[in-house]
Structure 1
């Protein structure tokens, strides 16, 4: 099974976006999650460093600057999606990537606090 470590740069980016209120509280992640075409377009305009900031997990052993390296997307390349964080928690939990699960959970709690969700 693949192993993932937490992408601390992505956690920091998500925190910045949450603090700036750049988030979506209600969305269907399956409908708004960036597809391959959106990811390719974003990469062309912004490069690998910015692209990686939208993924909470880094696949251990995968080469940098390959799509295989980055996993657990949490936003749409503009905003954090609450549903994206929930999807990260679920997927990381399902595949026992505890550190990624915990990072996504902490971000969800922060988002809910900032948004006033009790």
Structure 2
């Protein structure tokens, strides 16, 4: 079936934004703010894959469940939603024609812009 919207992650992101758990950074900041592989692995070790997957709006059901490769389109740093991640992922989802994911990111983008 391929990559589809991760409804659990989408709900988590909306809740974080509503609760003030976001960073209003610039589009190009994601390369600096994105968690490193080391940080990702440490998060998985401490919290497990169930919590890890909540930080990715895309799920590739053709990949094994307990692998990082299953989860696509990150939107934060395991603490906050980052505007730069949302903007980057919204654009990328549109490029790959994952329209449900693109629309979800557009909604998060709107929520963040309203918070400005």
TM-score of the superposed pair, with normalisation by structure 2: 0.93
Cα deviation digits, residues 29-74 of structure 1 (max 9, x gap): 0100112111001000100110000000001311112111101000
Structure 2 matches for 1:42-81, cutoff 5 A?
A: 42-81=43-82
Task: Give the superposed CA RMSD.
Answer: 1.3
Corresponding residue of 1:15: 14
Mapped contact 1:3–1:97 kept (Cα < 8 A)? no
5+ residue gaps in structure 1? none
Task: Extract structure 1 runs of 4+ deviating beyond 2 A.
Answer: none
Corresponding residue of 1:29: 30
Structure-1 separation of matches of 2:53 and 2:25: 24
Mapped contact 1:57–1:70 kept (Cα < 8 A)? yes
